């Protein structure tokens, strides 16, 4: 117990609390800026089992904010979940670390979260968060949401007896309306604060669930502002009140297919109809050069060309990797 002596000394943790942590399994969905910090803190805290889920590989641009990854991980283009697991095991060999290199979506979500005590959202898009919400409602699991962009951060905890994520965000944002770290940038201090707050919530859920307050916490580290917003259950919520599990459908609302003979991937991961004029305005406001026709709009971002059609399809030119195409789609279009 010497490893955790400073934690056990806290009156609200103690030996009993430490034993509860050791008997728990926490699943972290996403191994990016939030996921690397939260997974490390959970392992250092002595959570018995930590499962980490991510489909992406380590890139040089990740190292500014995604802690534990090294230049060697980026040079070897290692899967994030595997690279992070290796570093976590070197920190605390007594914790069971379970890396999963996979998409988190559709009917896979429930299976991946089954057996967890708490779930940590360390993702960067709304489709995955809505999927986590549906899966946790189905499994009656608590989960902790987190997000960061620019110098701002947000965090909230959802439990079976309280509000769910769709009480807070009833529908997916319009294409182009969501924040994007790739376009807007992000401070590592903001992502680190969000992840640290998420882990504190996880520890409370495991050790002292009665200590939860049920608020949304927002902050801006550049302005030095922190405030909370009451989180109340919506009696009209289609998910927690209506029982809808739309995001657990087999397709997970995200489909990709290759375009024969071209270095392109066709993506459908959002609404079936798109207001191209409104989308063009949102993307232009983010500093992107948009070319629009009656039937589509075109935008280029970092050697990738995105063509969005009015029926919701998007063609990602410049890659034949489905994971990369979906990442670009989510980063630029914000869902």
For residue 264, what pLDDT is reported?
79
* Structural contact between residues 206 and 21, judged by C-beta atoms closer than 8 angstroms: yes
pLDDT at 294: 78
List every span in the chain annotated with CATH 3.40.50.720. 2-247
pLDDT tens digits for 241-272? 999 998 897 554 456 555 545 677 888 766 66
Instruction: Decide which of 177 and 21 is more confident.
Output: 21
pLDDT of residue 140 exceeding 90, the answer is: yes
What is the CATH T-level fold of the domain 2-247, as seen in this structure?
A: Rossmann fold (3.40.50)
The enclosing H or E element of 145 equals: strand 143-149
Does the annotation mark 237 as catalytic? no
Q: What is the pTM of this model?
A: 0.84
Structure tokens at 122: 């360390």
Each residue's pLDDT tens digit, 69-95: 999 999 999 999 999 999 999 999 999
User: Does the structure show a pLDDT above 60 at 44?
Assistant: yes
What pLDDT score does 210 carry?
87
Looking at per-residue pLDDT, the higher value among 104 and 31 belongs to 31
Class of the CATH domain delimited by 254-333: alpha beta
Q: Buried (b) or exposed (e) across 111-148, using 16+ Cβ within 10 A?
A: ebbeebbbbbbbbbbbbbbbbbbbbbbbbebbbbbbbb
181, 215, 240, 260: which is the annotated catalytic residue? 181
CB contact set of 2 (below 8 Å; sequence gap of 6+): none
């Amino acid at each position: 117990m010497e490893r955790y002596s400073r934690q056990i000394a806290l009156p609200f943790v103690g030996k009993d609390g430490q034993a509860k942590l050791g008997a728990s399994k926490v699943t972290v969905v996403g191994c990016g800026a939030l996921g690397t910090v939260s997974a490390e803190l959970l392992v250092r805290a002595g959570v018995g089992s930590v499962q980490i889920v991510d489909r992406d590989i380590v890139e040089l641009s990740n190292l500014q904010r995604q802690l534990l990854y090294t230049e060697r991980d980026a040079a070897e283009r290692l899967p994030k979940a595997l690279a992070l697991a290796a570093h976590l095991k070197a920190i605390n060999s007594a914790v069971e670390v379970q890396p999963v290199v996979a998409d988190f979506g559709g009917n896979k979500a429930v299976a991946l979260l089954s057996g967890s005590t708490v779930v940590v959202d360390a993702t960067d898009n709304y489709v995955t968060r809505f999927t986590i919400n549906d899966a946790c409602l189905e499994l009656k699991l608590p989960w902790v949401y987190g997000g960061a962009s620019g110098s701002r951060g947000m965090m909230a905890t959802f439990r079976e007896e309280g509000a769910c994520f769709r009480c807070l965000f009833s529908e997916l944002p319009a294409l182009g309306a969501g924040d994007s770290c790739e376009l807007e940038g992000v401070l590592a201090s903001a992502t680190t604060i969000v992840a640290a707050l998420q882990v504190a919530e996880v520890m409370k859920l495991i050790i002292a669930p009665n200590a939860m307050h049920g608020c949304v916490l927002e902050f801006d580290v550049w302005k030095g502002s922190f405030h909370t917003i009451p989180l109340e259950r919506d009696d009209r919520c289609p998910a927690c009140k209506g029982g809808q599990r739309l995001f657990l459908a087999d397709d997970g609302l995200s489909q990709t297919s290759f375009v024969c003979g071209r270095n392109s991937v066709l993506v459908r991961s959002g609404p079936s109809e798109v207001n191209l004029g409104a989308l063009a305005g949102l993307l232009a406001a983010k500093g992107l050069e948009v070319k629009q026709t009656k039937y589509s709009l075109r935008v280029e971002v970092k050697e990738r060309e995105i063509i969005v059609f009015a029926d919701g399809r998007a063609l990602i030119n410049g890659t034949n990797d489905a994971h990369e195409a979906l990442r670009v789609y989510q980063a630029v279009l914000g869902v």
